[in-house]
Amino acid sequence: MTTPLVSILIPAFRTTWLDLAMASAVAQTVRDVEIIVSDDTRDERVANIVQKWSDPRIRYMKNPNRGLICTNRNNLIAQARGRYLKFLFDDDFLLPHSIESLLAAVEASGAKLAFHSRHVVDGDGCVLASPQLVTGAAPQRLSRDFFFNQLIAHAANLIGEPSNILIDTAGIPDLQRLFTIQQRHMGFLSDVALYANFMRLDLGIVGVAQFGSAFRVHAQQTSGAGYAGYSAGLFEWDLFRRWSAECGYMSRDAFEQGREMQRQMYQAHVARFPELAYFNRLNAQAPQEHFLTRDFMEALNLGYSTIALRKFARAR
């Protein structure tokens, strides 16, 4: 079996838009790919959709650790044979030149991660927004200063979600650990953790203006405000800011600019997620000597524990 150039990785557990995601993977202008679907469901709904496709580049498997955090993604990474990894979530889709444009950007810049512009669409595929971080014809490499003092300080993931990126794994022995911060698996913002680690290690992130994917906003998604773990999407930004400042990647001024914004984020959601009240109080005053204080780390543990209990209660 020949080794493919690119592995398209689809962590699947929803079926509503999976057929479209599969079609967009098969239709890529770069043909030297494998398409791996890791199924995180108990039943055969995902398998039945995948079986409709007769393309020999498609591989299907069940996640051996179904339902456990990060395991579906990690199973895909472990099974991938390509040098380049292209994530595709089961509710998103790619435009035909997605991989072609990202490969060109990586090869031209030497960066290990590339992203393109993406559309934000609703459940019916109607475009809601088309944000762009990069403009112009040439690929643009992000600086560490811009990433930490602008994007992280202002809680702005303008690089996009995992469906929007491509990774060159050459020289990266353990990609899975780059999804963690402080040896913690993120419950919500694992993509931001990946980008932060690429910047920390100077692996390089390059962006192109061309639109190459669509990120879907809908009621079933786990990033919506109704999700039991939504509060992690707020306090994990707090963790990123404090970690960045503690490590010297973010200036004190940038940290302070983001601190009040962080409090406003907490205040907007504290009624639904009471665990945010403790984080809000911690941000009332600027940290003195250290940013990753014992109080903050205790709040972090409490926050994740509260989310686990909430998920358990809703599952009963």
117 in Cβ contact with 208 (< 8 Å): yes
Mean pLDDT of the chain: 94
pLDDT at 225: 67
**9 with 33: CB under 8 angstroms?**
no
pTM: 0.95
Range scoring the smallest mean pLDDT among 5-14, 61-70, 222-231, 261-270: 222-231
CATH code linked to domain 6-216: 3.90.550.10
Residue 161 has pLDDT above 80, yes or no: yes
CA distances from 143 to 205, 206, 262 (A): 8, 9, 23
Flag the least confident range among 182-186, 194-198, 248-252. Answer: 182-186
- Within 10 Å of residue 126's Cβ, how many Cβ atoms? 8
pLDDT at 226: 76
Could you tell me the end-to-end alpha-carbon distance of the chain, in angstroms, rounded to an integer?
46
Contact 63, 39 (CB under 8 A): yes
d(CA 159, CA 205) in angstroms, rounded, equals 9
In the chain, the percentage of residues whose pLDDT exceeds 90 is 87
Each residue of 140-153: pLDDT tens digit? Answer: 999 999 999 999 99
Considering Cα of 26, then 27, then 32, then 38, what sign does the dihedral take? negative
Average pLDDT over residues 277-305: 93
- Based on the number of CB atoms within 10 Å of its own CB, is 316 exposed (0-12), middle (13-18) or buried (19 or more)? exposed
Q: What is the pLDDT of residue 222?
A: 66
The one-character DSSP state at 75 is: H
Q: Looking at the predicted structure, is the pLDDT value of residue 303 above 90?
A: yes
Q: What is the mean pLDDT of residues 16-24?
A: 97
pLDDT tens, 64-119? 888 777 889 999 999 999 999 999 999 999 999 999 999 999 999 999 999 999 99
Task: Give 18's Cβ-side CA count (13 Å radius).
Answer: 22
Residues in the chain: 316
pLDDT at 224: 63
Domain ranges of the chain: 6-216, 232-315
Alpha-carbon gap, residue 128 to 120, rounded angstroms: 5
Q: For residue 8, give every residue at least 6 positions away whose Cβ sits within 8 Å of its Cβ, in sequence order, or none.
A: 25, 28, 33, 34, 35, 36, 86, 87, 88, 99
Q: Between vectors from CA 192 to CA 255 and to CA 71, what angle results, nearest 5°?
A: 140
- For the chain, give the percent of residues with pLDDT over 70: 98
